Chains A and B, each alone.
Chain A
């Protein structure tokens, strides 16, 4: 259609979205990028400081750590959440009788707001809280931890809350993917005498490509920009071990009134998102095309 009518028609289709998005997100964002080259503290006056903010930022060990924490956090959430979702979906799709009830139940955590969920988990994570009590009661005293007070595990403990919230959501997306696999393909695989694992690897996994794309994208969007879970659970501690880029932006703006630095940090985060999302997108598209 566009081949015949050309650019004008394409522009007309894009225009409404472009206007809303351009005016209300891109334009403020551009102002934000400009601000990252100033020493703005939230007022009308600010001086141009060139790339100073970026130099300070890249030289600051706290910011470099936060970049690393963000990447680790996103990777852990991506892998564990997707795997759990896939596992639940793979089992549930074979058990139609309980599928709907169980998947609805698994979705419950996703419906709470992240802030509220974090408050709930701060009760469970306290040293004498639910998690440790549970581990003690099943005889796993060795696994008891000071979950949010140990710099080497706090980041993973926070990632676990994120995973807990959205693994059920991931499962539902995969279930929909399973529902879309044509029965003939599965029957053909069965006729070939393929086992459970063979069938999954040769047929289902390939057919789940679109669902995987959706899951990976949503998980990356949520986890690369994460700030509310660490904000409520640890405030970035202990000893800065759960600082993420978005949390630094938040603190620059709300605690330090350092809008210039907050803007510069946000730009670094944007670049990270662009790099990760475009490389993930390319990988996933290649997988979908192979089919």
Chain B
């Protein structure tokens, strides 16, 4: 039994390595010189260099843009989860004709290609003086991700036993307090999953920062990386380090929050 387990462990690790081999290829390639890479993309490197990274870090204003992106991502995550959960509470609990209409209206936004709404959205942001403004970006990301948030929270609210809230109400809690002390914590399991999804969306979005921000100093890692890539001559030596640098803070964030996310999921499910 023990031996079989060991073998399974080894096989799983091997399978995982094969699975992420393209990622490893990218990682190794990002340390190779452009000439060496072009000569033999799959071969063993002649020598490794940090020059690609040095160039990238300067070009994409890595530190400031990474910080920008982290702030944008966190703000959007807070807004998406709080607004989404608030709305889903009655949507999942309260059945009236208008709530089901409202729910359907939210579902419409699940797969809106961003570029379809950008024209009218731009006019709106101009009128609200939210162009070239990071807050404007948070609002757009929040609006774009609310449908997913509402979709998930609503189905989870339905699974929460009503008795818990009623007990809180009897204790004299107001509706908002009941929501934030009883309901919202119970939604933790799905919040972890949702926020991972929202972070990926916000982090990797290219079009929105490029259109709605003017100043590259306010822009995000991915947008800066993309806007500096030469469209005619996509050089892997330039692209790969940017792609990895762009993903690095996200990976660190995930590692930091992984425990909370998994614990949240577990705690909620056992209820």
Contacts and interface: CB of A to CB of B under 8 A. Distances in A.
Q: Is there direct touching of A and B in the complex, by C-beta distance under 8 Å?
A: yes
Contacts of A218: 148, 197
B152 A221 contact: no
B124 A24 contact: yes
A50 interface: no
Nearest to B102: A14
Contact of A217 (B22, B94, B152, B196): B152
Contact of A25 (B16, B79, B143, B247): B143
B108 A29 contact: yes
Contacts of A246: 113
Contacts of B139: 20, 24
Nearest to A34: B120
A70 to B, nearest CB: 10
Interface string B133-169: 0000001101110111011100110010000011001
B25 A130 contact: yes
Contact of B105 (A26, A176, A217): A26
A98 interface: yes
A110 interface: yes
Contacts, number: 266
A1 B169 contact: yes
Contacts of B179: 13
Given A28-B119, A285-B155, A273 B150 contact: no
B254 to A, nearest CB: 7
Given A10-B94, A21-B147, A95-B5, A113 B109 contact: no
Contact of A1 (B155, B175, B268): B175
Interface residues on B, range: 35 or more
A111 B113 contact: no
Interface string A93-118: 01101101010111111111111110
B42 A133 contact: yes
A169 B196 contact: yes
Given A123-B41, A213-B155, A21 B243 contact: no
A274 interface: yes
Contacts of B25: 120, 124, 130
A253 interface: yes
Among B110, B140, B152, max chain A CB count under 10 A is at B110
A251 to B, nearest CB: 11
Interface string B29-43: 000000000000110
A162 B108 CA distance: 23
Contacts of B115: 249-250, 253-254
A23 B179 CA distance: 25
Nearest to B10: A98
Contact of A28 (B120, B159, B165): B120
A9 B90 CA distance: 8
Interface in A214-248: 214, 217-218, 221, 224-225, 227, 246
B13 A102 contact: yes
Interface residues of A, number: 96
Contact of A104 (B156, B165, B258): B258
A224 B166 CA distance: 40
B20 interface: yes
Contacts of A28: 117-121, 124
A14 B86 contact: yes
B63 interface: no
A57 interface: no
A31 interface: yes
A154 interface: no
B120 A32 contact: yes
Contacts of A112: 23, 204, 243-244, 246-247
A270 to B, nearest CB: 6
Contacts of A167: 19
Contacts of A7: 96, 98
A246 B110 CA distance: 13
Interface in A180-229: 180-182, 210, 213-214, 217-218, 221, 224-225, 227
A44 to B, nearest CB: 11
A18 B21 CA distance: 44
B251 interface: yes
B263 to A, nearest CB: 9
B23 A179 contact: no
Contacts of A13: 86-87, 89-90, 175, 179
Query: What 7 A-B pairs have minimum CB-CB distances, sorted nearest first?
Result: A180-B269, A176-B265, A10-B90, A113-B204, A28-B120, A17-B87, A116-B243
11 contacts: A91-B12, A106-B19, A108-B247, A164-B19, A176-B269, A179-B266, A181-B269, A210-B269, A217-B152, A225-B113, A277-B110
Interface of B: 5, 8-9, 12-13, 15-17, 19-23, 25-26, 41-42, 79, 83-84, 86-87, 89-91, 93-94, 96, 98-99, 102, 104-113, 115-121, 124, 139-140, 142-144, 146-148, 150-152, 155-156, 159, 165-166, 169, 175, 178-179, 189-190, 192-193, 196-197, 200, 203-204, 206, 222, 225-226, 234, 236, 239-240, 242-244, 246-247, 250-251, 254-255, 258, 261-262, 265-266, 268-270
